[in-house]
Amino acid sequence: MTQPQVETSRTAERERADVGLCAVLLGVKDDQPEVLALEDAHGGLAIAHGAIDDIDTTLERALRRMVERTVGAHLAYVEQLYTFGDRGRDPQRRALTIAYLALVRREIAPARHRSQWLPCYQLFPWEDFRAGRPEQIDRLIVPALRSWAKDDPRRGLRADITFGLSGSAWDPHRVLERYELLYEVGLVDEARRDAQQRGNQLPSASEIALGRPMALDHRRIVATALGRVRGKLSYRPVVFEMLPSEFTLSQLQRLVEALAGFTLHTPNFRRLVSAAGLVEPTGHHRPTGGRPAELFRFRGDVLRERPTPGVGLPGAR
Amino acid sequence: MTQPQVETSRTAERERADVGLCAVLLGVKDDQPEVLALEDAHGGLAIAHGAIDDIDTTLERALRRMVERTVGAHLAYVEQLYTFGDRGRDPQRRALTIAYLALVRREIAPARHRSQWLPCYQLFPWEDFRAGRPEQIDRLIVPALRSWAKDDPRRGLRADITFGLSGSAWDPHRVLERYELLYEVGLVDEARRDAQQRGNQLPSASEIALGRPMALDHRRIVATALGRVRGKLSYRPVVFEMLPSEFTLSQLQRLVEALAGFTLHTPNFRRLVSAAGLVEPTGHHRPTGGRPAELFRFRGDVLRERPTPGVGLPGAR
DNA sequence: ACAAAAGTGTTTCGACTACACCCATGG
DNA sequence: CCATGGGTGTAGTCGAAACACTTTTGT
């Protein structure tokens, strides 16, 4: 589609602003979800980013080419995440970035330049329940939240809902809400850094800095991406974008667990996945430590049969 | 948050582009979902739009003030929808618009200027199943789709999934996918208009123009909004943003039905809503044609109790 | 043999559906 | 008394959760 008409009244209203693209490239290796990070000029970690190239007719195309330029990876699955425009304000310009989520097969995605794969749970250690409840929640986060909410019941309610306290259930989707709350409370390094840059007081006297910080608001963008993937798992077959064409059910399960951040009941997982018609056997087998595993492939026909074909996490009720 | 540091490498990469905001204001009156539309200079219908005001620190704040300026309405619920950047390309500039969804109580939202409330199902007549299956689907849409997909099975599959044909179920959430398919097939007026502006052939020789057209790609933006609302109904208590503080269960049901586009089983709806703890009785009553109806209010505590408090449409399985 | 990993059967539970029915008011 | 809209009881169905158990390989 092109601009249908010279819309003077409209373009006149518009301001010029700095606009860029950025992409959260998400892959899983050795049961760890990882995000592609580049070292920026100041030694910070940034996700892939760049300008909108004018030759591309759609934003998605511009994004794909930006990523190919920047990190040399070809992207399979891409979706728009969110547009961030709160930061980077100064009298002359506003810095906008249109963030995308991209899922990649780690085998196909070579990291170039000064890039590295950064484990997501180094960024958000409190999000990984696979080896039990992360100890930092009860040791560091809960006490800090309690003292932050001491005099305001609304803060208490928010803390309870976001971190699943006082009877509320832990909701795996609320990755962003948790990061943002920790930022507000001053438990992540970016909060201190941004306060210093503004010349403000620290939001809290705490010396706690949970998880690895990133440049600008990139950790917030990655949190948005992780939350989005967790949500999408249950109603769209996005996991298969991160698997080879043939895979075992354990591979699939461990991948889902890595993204969801908790373990699943193996026998039920197998049945749910096959009963949903998501996969079909290829007839091939693969040797393992024990009994050889059957290889499966994604069954494209589910798309026609079910409105919401996904792996259905327990918390999705 | 402010820009933490002068990121020369980054800002240098950025291009200047025209960026604006727009808002889909959605309300329901007399069981009809309606969107606020303004007449533009050329007699077309446009949703509320404007520039990003530099004094606002967040995009959401900029949007709220833009809407207050433009149509004089104060917004309760607001969320970012999507950033559209495919249209309006020319060698000099790219026109970007960050679209927001806003839900309003029609009593509180006075329309000012040259604005009007436009019934959504005039834009998308094929989306309203409350009085039975819209006749246009089988009379106009299906034949056109079939002839469009005649020689390409992938087109056939896409048509089947999007419009629930050949055994696929109609998915109320796929509002945008349906509009986009109709655009591609050439069954909406915008397709013809945009092709003419490009100097291209019409995408189809058909003279069919389903639904009322809007300026630019605004109908596509409204489709995105309607799809988002339908999705959100089932897992967030967004409907209550469009109701007065006290309401009857019928009011609630008719509102949900208006948005979802199909009718619900009344006895079950009542129970699901109360069993979910979404509402509590106020003790007041309201005279009706028959037995007086009990008045209810939204019960805020659900937020603590359930991770996904929504009204749960049948198709959400 | 036994550890390790894959894979199956069966019961229980709870959410949603469908259908039949009762209640309170106005004309 | 009967039409209209409000409201309840109850049995059936389906998918998911939990638990116990079998199969096939490598060492």
Q: Rounded mean pLDDT of chain B? A: 86
Look at residue B146 in the predicted model and tell me its pLDDT: 96
Look at residue B226 in the predicted model and tell me its pLDDT: 97
Q: What is the mean pLDDT of residues B136-165?
A: 95
Burial of B136 (0-12, 13-18, 19+ CB in 10 A): middle
What is the rounded distance in angstroms from the CA atom of residue B27 to the CA atom of residue B103?
6
**Chain A residues inside the 8 Å CB shell of B158:** none
How would you classify the pairing of strands A32-39 and B45-46?
Answer: unpaired
Helices (H), chain A: 8-13, 59-71, 120-123, 135-136, 142-148, 153-163, 175-185, 189-198, 218-233, 249-260, 266-275, 302-305
Look at residue A10 in the predicted model and tell me its pLDDT: 40
Q: Answer yes or no: do A16 and B18 touch at CB < 8 A.
A: yes
Q: pLDDT above 70 covers what percent of chain B? A: 86
Q: What is the mean pLDDT of residues B155-179?
A: 94
Look at residue A16 in the predicted model and tell me its pLDDT: 58
Q: Answer yes or no: do B216 and A17 touch at CB < 8 A.
A: no
Q: Answer yes or no: do A216 and B4 touch at CB < 8 A.
A: yes
Is a pLDDT exceeding 60 seen at residue B90?
Answer: no
Least confident of B94-98, B217-221, B262-266: B94-98
**Chain A residues inside the 8 Å CB shell of B59:** 83, 85-86
Is a pLDDT exceeding 90 seen at residue B45?
Answer: yes
Look at residue A101 in the predicted model and tell me its pLDDT: 98
Is a pLDDT exceeding 50 seen at residue B317?
Answer: no
Burial of B52 (0-12, 13-18, 19+ CB in 10 A): buried
Mutate to test the interface with A, among B6, B10, B301 (most CBs of A within 10 A): B10
Look at residue A111 in the predicted model and tell me its pLDDT: 65
Is a pLDDT exceeding 50 seen at residue A2?
Answer: no
Helices (H), chain B: 8-13, 59-71, 120-123, 135-136, 142-148, 153-163, 175-185, 189-198, 218-233, 249-260, 266-275, 302-305
Look at residue B81 in the predicted model and tell me its pLDDT: 98
> What DSSP string describes B129-162?
-TTSS-HHIIIIIHHHHHHHTTT-HHHHHHHHHH
- Does the CB of B267 fall within 7 Å of any strand D atom? yes
Least confident of A144-158, A267-281, B136-150: A267-281
Look at residue A305 in the predicted model and tell me its pLDDT: 82
The alpha carbon dihedral of B215, B218, B223, B226 has a sign of negative
Residue B26: what residue type?
L
Look at residue A249 in the predicted model and tell me its pLDDT: 92
How would you classify the pairing of strands A15-29 and A115-119?
Answer: unpaired
The CATH code for residues A15-120 is: 3.90.79.10
pLDDT in tens, A78-127: 999 999 998 664 545 678 999 999 999 987 666 666 789 999 999 999 99
Q: What is the mean pLDDT of residues B226-253?
A: 93
Look at residue B203 in the predicted model and tell me its pLDDT: 57
Report residue A317's pLDDT band, with 50, 70 and 90 as the boundaries: very low
> What DSSP string describes B267-301?
HHHHHHHHHTT-EEEEEEEE--SSSPEEEEEE-TT
Q: What is the mean pLDDT of residues B223-236?
A: 94
Alpha carbon A18 to its chain centroid, in Å, reads: 24
Is a pLDDT exceeding 60 seen at residue B148?
Answer: yes
Q: Answer yes or no: do B307 and A1 touch at CB < 8 A.
A: no
Contact predicate A309/A240, CB 8 Å: no
Continuous segment of H or E residues that includes residue A96: strand A95-103
Report residue B308's pLDDT band, with 50, 70 and 90 as the boundaries: confident
Look at residue A6 in the predicted model and tell me its pLDDT: 35
Q: What is the mean pLDDT of residues A10-14?
A: 41
Q: How far apart are the first and last CA of chain A?
A: 40
Look at residue B86 in the predicted model and tell me its pLDDT: 83
Pick the CATH number of A235-316 from 1.10.10.10, 1.10.240.10, 3.10.150.10, 1.10.3720.10: 1.10.10.10
Look at residue A43 in the predicted model and tell me its pLDDT: 82
Is a pLDDT exceeding 70 seen at residue A310?
Answer: yes
Q: Which residue has the closest alpha carbon to D19 C1'? A: A267
Q: What are the sequence ranges of the domains in chain B?
A: 15-119, 125-210, 237-316
**Can you read off the two tokens belonging to residue A199?**
């010349």
Residues linked to residue B33 through DSSP beta bridges, in sequence order = B28
Overall size of chain A counted in residues: 317
B 5-44 residues inside an 8 A Cβ radius of A: 5, 7-11, 13-20, 40-42
- Looking at domain B15-119, which CATH architecture does it have? Alpha-Beta Complex (3.90)
Q: Could you confirm whether domain B237-316 is CATH 3.10.20.90?
A: no
pLDDT in tens, A244-297: 999 999 999 999 999 999 999 999 899 889 888 899 988 888 887 778 888 999
The closest of B303, B175, B171 to A235, measured between CA atoms, is B171
- The SS3 call for residue B62 is helix
Q: Answer yes or no: do B216 and A13 touch at CB < 8 A.
A: no
The closest of B160, B180, B159, B163 to B171, measured between CA atoms, is B163
Residues linked to residue A117 through DSSP beta bridges, in sequence order = A36
Bases of chain D below 7 A from a protein C-beta are: 3-10, 15-20, 23-26
Is a pLDDT exceeding 70 seen at residue A13?
Answer: no
How would you classify the pairing of strands A95-103 and B32-39?
Answer: unpaired
Q: Rounded mean pLDDT of chain A? A: 86
Look at residue B55 in the predicted model and tell me its pLDDT: 81
Q: Answer yes or no: do A87 and B14 touch at CB < 8 A.
A: no
Look at residue B107 in the predicted model and tell me its pLDDT: 77
- Does the CB of B266 fall within 7 Å of any strand D atom? yes
Contact predicate A216/A89, CB 8 Å: no
Q: What is the mean pLDDT of residues B137-151?
A: 96
Is a pLDDT exceeding 90 seen at residue A154?
Answer: yes
Contact predicate B260/B233, CB 8 Å: yes
Is a pLDDT exceeding 70 seen at residue A181?
Answer: yes
Number of Cβ atoms within 10 Å of the Cβ of A41:
12
Mutate to test the interface with A, among B83, B100, B165, B182 (most CBs of A within 10 A): B83
Q: pLDDT above 70 covers what percent of chain A? A: 86
Look at residue B309 in the predicted model and tell me its pLDDT: 79
Least confident of A41-55, A144-158, B198-212: B198-212
Q: How far is the CA of A53 from the C1' of C13 (A)?
A: 56
